[in-house]
């Protein structure tokens, strides 16, 4: 019944959030903004340009352009990921699960394509995916649904028969707005945040997602289709 599984990337497939936070702290220091982990967590799931705009609105600086700051963050994270990034728990076991079920897989990320490419090569998971798509190539980034709708279109399937995996609230909004079944995988520090309640299913880790849960998602899809 489910015709595609679509995965977010940062914080879901790859343990990249600590790298993003470390680099953001270092780069924002160059414009006089002293950050910490808790401040960085406020913008988890937002595209880099939106993160830079968020902090510029609250702590304006004048010595560097917003584009320059955003590009330095992306470039330095790219370099870090190529040499240090590790998979999140449950990868590639969950990819094996969907591959064994014959369900095509894709990546729908808010990150630029160069970062997506860096991650799939670093984790050696390129062969699992039919396509990977960046929201930077769409008119609007997450939390808008564009990247998920675009990914489904590239796969040649309807969004309603896709299941999307997301770790952030903004990413979950994106997939939900696209009309997909959703599995949220929040970080420990925000697992009980109400923003994740819109998900079809919530799990603490990809390691907790099972074949039985996949069958339950298909059952929910079947019921929804019958109602239609």
Note whether 104 and 155 are within 8 A (CB): yes
Digitized pLDDT (tens) for each residue of the chain, 228 residues in all: 899 999 999 999 999 888 999 999 999 999 999 999 999 989 987 889 999 999 999 999 999 999 999 999 999 988 998 889 899 999 999 999 999 999 999 999 998 898 899 899 999 999 999 999 999 999 999 999 999 999 999 999 999 999 999 999 999 999 999 999 999 999 998 999 999 999 999 999 999 999 999 999 999 998 887 776
Overall fold of domain 17-84: DNA polymerase; domain 1 (1.10.150)
From-to residues of CATH 3.40.50.1000 in the chain: 4-15+86-227
Domain covering 4-15+86-227: architecture = 3-Layer(aba) Sandwich (3.40)
As annotated, the active-site residues are 8, 10
Q: What is the per-residue pLDDT for 97?
A: 98
Q: What is the per-residue pLDDT for 225?
A: 77
For the chain, give the longest Cα–Cα distance.
Answer: 59
d(CA 184, CA 172): 7
Burial 51-70 (b: 16+ CB within 10 A, else e): bbeebbeeeeeeeeeeeebb
Q: What is the DSSP string of 53-112?
A: HHHHHHS---SS-HHHHHHHHHHHHHHHHHHH--BPTTTTHHHHHHHHTT--EEEEESS-
d(CA 10, CA 185): 12
User: How many of the other CB atoms lie within 10 Å of CB of 110?
Assistant: 27
Q: Nearest 5°: phi and psi at 169?
A: -65, -40
The tokens for 202 are 């919530």
> What does DSSP assign to residue 153?
H
User: How many of the other CB atoms lie within 10 Å of CB of 219?
Assistant: 11
Give the residue from 14, 18, 19 showing the smallest Cα distance to 87.
14
> What does DSSP assign to residue 13?
T
Q: What is the per-residue pLDDT for 171?
A: 95
Indicate the pTM of the whole model.
Answer: 0.86
Strands 181-184 and 105-109: unpaired
Bond before 57 cis per omega within 30 degrees: no
């Amino acid at each position: 019944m489910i015709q595609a599984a679509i995965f977010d990337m940062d914080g879901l497939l790859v343990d990249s959030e600590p790298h993003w936070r470390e680099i953001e702290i270092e780069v924002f220091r160059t414009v006089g903004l002293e950050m910490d982990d808790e401040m960085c967590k406020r913008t988890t799931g937002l595209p880099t340009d939106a993160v830079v705009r968020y902090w510029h609105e609250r702590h304006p600086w004048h010595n560097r352009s917003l584009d320059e700051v955003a590009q330095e963050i992306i470039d330095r994270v790219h370099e870090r990921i190529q040499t240090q990034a590790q998979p999140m728990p449950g990868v590639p076991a969950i990819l094996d699960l969907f591959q064994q079920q014959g369900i095509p897989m894709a990546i729908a990320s808010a990150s630029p394509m160069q970062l997506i490419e860096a991650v799939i090569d670093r984790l050696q998971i390129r062969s699992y995916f039919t396509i990977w798509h960046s929201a930077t190539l769409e008119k609007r980034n997450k939390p808008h649904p564009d990247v998920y709708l675009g990914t489904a279109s590239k796969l040649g399937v309807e969004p309603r028969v896709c299941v999307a995996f997301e770790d952030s609230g903004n990413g979950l909004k994106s997939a939900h707005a696209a009309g997909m079944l959703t599995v949220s995988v929040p970080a420990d520090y925000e697992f009980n945040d109400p923003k994740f309640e819109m998900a079809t299913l919530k799990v603490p880790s990809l390691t907790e997602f099972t074949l039985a849960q996949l069958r339950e998602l298909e059952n929910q899809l079947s019921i929804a289709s019958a109602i239609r």
